[in-house]
C-alpha cells in the first residue's frame, strides 16, 4: 500500500536573527532561535511542538505561516517549497493555512462587528457579498457554538472563550487544510479551556483539519495531539507518537517536562526534575544544549562538547541524547 505524502514537511529548519548590538564585540551576534528542526504533519492529524518558553516553538510557527523567512532549511506543503511558490500557488497557500493565536482580543479588530471580522477573508479572497456572505458567516458562527445573532456584536461584548471561538470561526472561513494553533487556550480560564479544546477536536473530525499545535502545556498536548516533538533552545530533542511520548519518553528533558505535570495522586513519584533557566539562544551551550540543566549529566565530556546525533530508539521514535542508545 502506498504511503501518502505528508501535508506539511519541515526539513532542517534554521532561523537565526541578528542579536543586540554591542560596541565591545567585533563580530555580529546571532540569536539561534531554531537550529535544524525537522518534522511532518499528516492529513487530519495534530502535530504538537512542546517545550519551555524561549525554545523556538513560535519561531517555527511563524516560518510555516510565512511571517518570517528561514535562514536555511525547507518547508514543504503538499510537496512544494512554500518559499518558492509562484503568485497563484502562494495565494492558495495563504487560503489553505490559517492560524489561531494566544490572545484573541488582540487579534480581533475592536472597531469591527464580529460578522465583519469573520466575513473579511471571504470578501477579500473570494469576493463574497450580500446574502451569500451573511449565510456563510452565520454558518461559521454556528460551527463554533455561537448564536448567529451575535454577529452584530463587537469583540469587547464577549468573554475570552467566546472571542477565541470567533478567532476559530475566522480561521475556518476559507476552508483551510492546516491551522497553526499557537498556545490557543493559555490565556483562558481553566474552566473554559476544555470547551475550546473539545471544539477544536470536533472541528478536526468534522472538516478533516490538520493542526500544528504550539504549547508548553503537556496536558493539552496529550488531549489533542497524535505526534509530539520536544524542543529545547532551538533543537528538537525527542519526537514520537503521542502514546510513546507519554509512556516511554527517553530524553531527560522530556521526562522532566512530563514529571512537572500536576498529578491527582500526591503519592505518585515526580520523576526527573530540572532547575535553572532555559539557556540563551544567543550563546547556547556547547555539546548537548541541555547538559547544564540535565539531571543525569555527570560532567561527561561527550555531553559537554559533542552535539548528540538524532537516533531512532524505537519504531517512529527518535531522540538526541548521548545517554540514550537504540
Answer whether residue 320 shows pLDDT above 80: yes
Q: In angstroms, rounded to a whole number, what is the distance separating the alpha carbons of residues 301 and 233?
A: 20
What percentage of residues in the chain have a pLDDT greater than 90?
Answer: 77
Place of cell 476559507: 174
- Read off the CATH number of the domain in which 194 is found: 3.40.50.300
Q: Give residue-wise pLDDT tens across range 280-295.
A: 999 899 999 999 999 8
Flag whether 165 is in a domain.
Answer: no
Q: How many CA atoms lie within 13 A of 229 on its CB side?
A: 23
User: What are φ and ψ of residue 39, in 5° steps?
Assistant: -170, 170
Is 143 domain-assigned? no
Half-sphere exposure in the Cβ direction for 25 (13 Å, CA): 8
pLDDT of residue 155: 93
Q: CA 163 to CA 154: how far, in whole Å?
A: 10
Query: Is 90 exceeded by the pLDDT of residue 326?
Result: no
Please state, rounded to an integer, the average pLDDT across all residues of the chain: 91
Contacts of 57 (CB under 8 A, 6+ apart): 49, 50, 51, 214, 215, 216, 231
Instruction: Read off the C-alpha cell for 242.
Output: 503521542
DSSP β-ladder status, 46-50 and 30-41: unpaired
Task: Give the strand order in the sheet containing 30-41.
Answer: 30-41, 8-18, 72-77, 80-81
- Does residue 129 belong to any structural domain of this protein? no
Total structural domains within the chain: 1
Beta carbons of 186 and 102 less than 8 angstroms apart:
yes
147 part of a folded domain: no
Q: Is 184 a domain residue? A: yes
User: Could you list the residue range(s) of the whole structural domain that residue 100 is in?
Assistant: 8-19+28-111+176-319
Whether residue 313 lies inside any domain: the answer is yes
How far apart are alpha carbons 212 and 182 in whole angstroms?
A: 8
Report H helices in 147-232: 160-172, 190-207, 218-224
* Mean pLDDT, rounded, for 76-95: 96
Question: Alpha-carbon distance 246 to 163, whole Å?
Answer: 32
Q: Is residue 265 part of a domain?
A: yes
Tens of pLDDT, residues 9-26: 999 999 999 877 665 555
Amino acid at each position: 500500500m502506498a504511503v501518502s505524502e505528508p501535508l506539511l514537511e519541515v526539513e532542517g529548519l534554521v532561523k537565526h536573527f541578528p542579536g543586540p548590538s554591542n560596541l565591545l564585540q567585533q563580530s555580529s551576534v546571532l540569536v539561534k532561535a531554531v537550529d535544524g528542526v525537522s518534522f511532518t504533519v499528516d492529513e487530519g492529524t495534530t502535530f504538537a511542538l512542546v517545550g519551555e518558553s524561549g525554545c523556538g516553538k513560535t519561531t517555527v510557527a511563524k516560518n510555516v505561516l510565512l511571517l518570517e523567512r528561514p535562514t536555511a532549511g525547507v518547508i514543504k506543503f503538499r510537496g512544494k517549497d512554500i518559499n518558492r511558490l509562484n503568485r497563484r500557488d502562494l495565494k492558495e497557500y495563504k487560503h489553505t493555512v490559517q492560524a489561531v493565536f494566544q490572545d484573541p482580543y488582540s487579534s480581533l479588530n475592536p472597531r469591527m462587528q464580529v460578522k465583519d471580522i469573520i466575513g473579511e477573508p471571504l470578501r477579500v479572497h473570494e469576493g463574497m457579498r450580500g446574502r451569500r456572505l451573511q449565510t456563510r458567516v452565520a454558518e461559521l458562527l454556528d460551527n463554533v457554538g455561537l448564536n448567529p445573532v451575535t454577529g452584530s456584536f463587537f469583540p469587547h461584548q464577549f468573554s475570552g472563550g467566546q472571542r477565541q471561538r470567533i478567532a476559530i470561526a475566522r480561521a475556518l472561513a476559507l476552508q483551510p487544510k492546516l491551522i497553526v494553533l499557537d498556545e490557543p487556550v493559555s490565556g483562558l480560564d481553566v474552566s473554559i479551556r476544555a470547551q475550546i479544546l473539545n471544539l477544536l477536536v470536533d472541528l478536526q473530525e468534522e472538516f478533516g483539519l490538520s493542526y500544528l499545535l504550539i504549547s508548553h502545556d503537556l496536558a493539552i498536548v496529550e488531549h489533542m495531539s497524535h505526534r509530539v516533538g520536544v524542543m529545547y533552545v532551538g533543537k528538537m530533542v525527542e519526537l514520537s507518537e503521542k502514546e510513546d511520548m507519554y509512556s516511554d519518553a527517553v530524553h531527560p528533558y522530556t521526562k522532566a517536562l512530563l514529571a512537572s505535570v500536576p498529578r491527582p495522586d500526591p503519592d505518585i513519584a515526580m520523576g526527573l526534575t530540572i532547575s535553572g533557566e532555559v539557556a540563551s539562544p544567543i550563546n547556547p551551550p556547547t555539546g548537548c544544549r541541555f547538559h547544564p540543566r540535565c539531571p543525569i549529566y555527570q560532567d561527561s565530556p561527550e555531553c559537554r562538547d559533542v552535539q548528540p546525533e538524532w537516533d531512532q530508539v524505537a519504531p517512529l521514535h527518535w531522540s538526541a541524547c548521548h545517554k540514550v542508545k537504540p
